[in-house]
Amino acid sequence: MGPARVFPSLHRATPLVGAVALLSLLTACGNGGDSTGAVSTPPGTDSRTTAPPTTGTGSPTTEPGTTSPGAADTASPATQSAGPGSRCHTSELRAAIGRPSPGAGQRNFPIVLTNTGGHTCTLHGYPGAAFVDASGKQLGPDPKRSPDTPMTVTLTPGSSAWAGLTFASPEISGARTATPAALLVTPPDERDPLKVAWTAGEVPVAGNESSVFVTIVQPGTGG
């Protein structure tokens, strides 16, 4: 014999039983419950009876690793660390003009950057350079970059890196010249320059073959 069927018996219930069941159902609905007596929750809402805790911005908090849909990310951006291996900043460096290395019709000077800070930092790419007069006015255009492949140079405290500054000898090129009071050197990826007195005489500022070139930073002092 197969199992008894339940669903057909519902249709054979007596009118009295049906009336009692209907009355119970209406009572439960009037109390905010379902047919079992449990309190019902409107569709689409949380079953908790209290609101979720909020942060100081009024946004609901979420489980770790999740984000509330549509909520703005209020986390503070990571600040740049001054720990070992971070980029060298202008305030941590000293600039100097090294001993010139004459070439065939060229004048070559190493721009030396020395780590004066208390931790290891790195330099990568080209420094900025500008000749200025005593009033701070720039003489000539910005130097051009030589076609080198940048490298990352790690500077421990007290160590140095250098970049080459080169231009054609004015007496050979016939370029118009000026005598700078200083060279402003800006470390790679920085905005604040370091001022270095210029004592090497005239530099080309206009005319034929007046371009000044700067190379990438490299380890050492260039001497």
Structure-model confidence comparison of residues 85 and 134, the more confident one: 134
Sign of torsion over alpha carbons 123, 128, 129, 133: negative
Domains of the chain: 86-219 (2.60.40)
- Place 85 in a pLDDT band, splitting at 50, 70 and 90: low
Annotate 57-70 with b (16+ C-beta within 10 A) or e (fewer): eeeeeeeeeeeeee
Structure-model confidence comparison of residues 142 and 81, the more confident one: 142
Give the pLDDT confidence score for residue 16 in this predicted structure: 37
The strand ranges marked E within 100-214 are 106-115, 121-124, 128-132, 144-145, 152-155, 160-168, 176-178, 182-186, 194-197, 203-206, 212-214
Structure-model confidence comparison of residues 164 and 73, the more confident one: 164
Which of 27-36, 50-59, 192-201 shows the lowest mean pLDDT across its residues?
50-59
Render pLDDT for 22-50 as a digit per residue (tens, 0 to 9). 334 334 334 444 433 333 333 333 323 33
Give the pLDDT confidence score for residue 209 in this predicted structure: 82
Joined tokens for residue 198: 């210029």
Give the pLDDT confidence score for residue 213 in this predicted structure: 96
